[in-house]
Amino acid sequence: MGSEGPTDEYLIIRKEKIRLIDIISILLFRKSLKSCRFVECSSTEKDGGSGGRIRADDWVTPLVVVVLKVLETIKTPLKWFGLILEFFLNLFALNGGLLGLIWKTITGKLVIPKRDAANYRSFIGHIDGRLDLYKSKSLMNFFPLMEPQAGLDDINVLDLSMMAAKVAYENPAYIENAVTNHWKMHFVGFYDCWNKFLEEKTTQAFIFCNKAEDADLIVLAFRGTEPFNAVDWSTDVDLSTLLAGKLGLLHLGFLKALGLQNEKSFLLGFPKDFTSPNNEPAAYYTLRAELKGLLAEHKNAKIMVTGHSLGGALAAMFPALLSYHNQSDVLNAMYGVLTHGQPRVGDLVFKTYVEAIMRVKYQRMVYRYDIVPRIPFDLTPVSNFKHCGQCVYYQGWYQGQEVDEVPNPNYFDPLSTPLMYLVAWLDLFKALFIGFTEGKDFKEGIVSIFYRLLGLAVPGFGFHSPRDYVNAARLAKFTKTIPV
């Protein structure tokens, strides 16, 4: 696959070091990014590209710096707001609403939510509490862009991938209950993995099989961007990169989430084999070992990797690392990578590499004007991130198109703004009546409607809801490539 090339080309934005004076200098005086105290870069980066002086037409870098500073400032209050909101949502839900809460308080039967309980839902879970897989016979194993697979005739793989990506936001007990009691499948494990640079367990994933014995399908699902986690959102928009040899230039934050050990050298950061000196699980190595063990147990099984948002980014990088380390046993067993609302993860070299190893096995779903698949920006030479894989663009809940590029690919096109707002209103209107038009499985509760109302302010965030991706997976009719 070619020579390794240099491994010390990097650009690191230290968001915790961003000062107001830096933002002013960049915005007003187009100050050189490499001279800012919050940036570290290799000598090759300093010579040009993202490390050079901000040009008059470069609006990406200042915007990213401002967003990173805002997210860094609000990360603690945002986290606590999310925790409090989730607690009260669960308090009301577990006690039967406001009247039930009052009655149970009076009678001494109040149920106090426990974050690790199987009935405790995240904010995502309150937007969409569906747990059962879609049972429409007309959609069994229906996803014409994926190759048929023996043993999966009774599984709608697109629905399963999105449901797994949605459930990945929940706690281990909730996930195990969903897999075991609702999907009637075999739960293997939940993995809470360490990020060396954040010094926290910030990467979560779970694995399950369609059967306990002689499984046909093994599913690995990564948790995505949590709504009230500013660190997750910072990772999505960050422009920090690391040259990964033949893999190309990759998003540094996503590499760290998968278990990178050295942020300035990919060779040192991702050796073929690694054991943590502190016994803290690194996502890539831990999950790779689990899949190897499962393949030894289930000889004919195929692997599907999925994730929504940040989880989709990790799902996209995972097989590239397997190939880089010559893990042919796991890679050859790969049925497919199906991501939903996934951000960009690498440059053109990475795009070419992934498409060479995955061929038609990598499908990337994008719902309408979702902002996350449109970041980090694809604006050469300022930001060189490219999408890879075959893109399925959901024009709505009823039509899925295989496209080369989605409309408004960098989100901030003023010509697309009126249409984005119009479509957000149309989705809200349809959501109010979808329970009548499509059945009770699609009826939306007050939290989902409220989220759609908030999404009217910034449609890009409203379209990122996992509920819309589940609806589209269940309702959309798929067509081949149609010009956008």
- Answer yes or no: are the C-beta atoms of 189 and 281 closer than 8 Å: no
Please tell me the predicted confidence (pLDDT) of residue 54: 58
> Is 370 noted as a catalytic residue in this protein?
yes
| Cβ-count burial 377-414 (b if 16+ within 10 Å, e if not) | bbbeebbbbbbbbbbbbbbbbeebbbbeebbbbebeee
Answer whether residue 36 is part of any domain.
no
Q: What is the pTM of this model?
A: 0.93
CATH number at residue 472: 3.40.50.1820
Tell me the residue type at 468. D
Answer whether residue 364 is part of any domain.
yes
Answer whether residue 258 is part of any domain.
yes
Which structural domain, as residue segments, surrounds residue 330? 119-479
Report the run of H or E that residue 20 belongs to, with start and end.
helix 20-29
User: Of 383, 464, 465, 468, which is the active-site residue?
Assistant: 464
**CA–CA separation, 113 and 120 (whole Å):** 7
Please tell me the predicted confidence (pLDDT) of residue 156: 86
User: Of 370, 378, 427, 468, which is the active-site residue?
Assistant: 370
Answer whether residue 100 is part of any domain.
no
Answer whether residue 33 is part of any domain.
no
Categorize the per-residue pLDDT at 155 as very low, low, confident or very high, splitting at 50, 70 and 90. confident
> Is 464 noted as a catalytic residue in this protein?
yes
Q: List, in sequence order, every residue forming a beta bridge with 39; answer none if it has no partner.
A: 13
- 39-94 pLDDT tens trace: 998 876 554 444 445 566 678 888 889 999 999 999 999 999 999 999 999 999 99
Please tell me the predicted confidence (pLDDT) of residue 481: 46
Answer whether residue 13 is part of any domain.
no
Number of domains within the chain? 1
Please state the rounded mean pLDDT for residues 12-30: 87
Answer whether residue 441 is part of any domain.
yes
User: Of 309, 323, 383, 465, which is the active-site residue?
Assistant: 309
Answer whether residue 47 is part of any domain.
no
> In percent, how much of the chain has pLDDT > 90?
74
For residue 257, which of 207, 221, 306, 310 has the smallest C-alpha distance?
310
Please tell me the predicted confidence (pLDDT) of residue 147: 72
Please tell me the predicted confidence (pLDDT) of residue 266: 95
- 302-352 pLDDT tens trace: 999 999 999 999 999 999 999 999 999 999 999 999 999 999 999 999 999
**CA–CA separation, 1 and 352 (whole Å):** 11
Please tell me the predicted confidence (pLDDT) of residue 381: 75
Please tell me the predicted confidence (pLDDT) of residue 478: 80
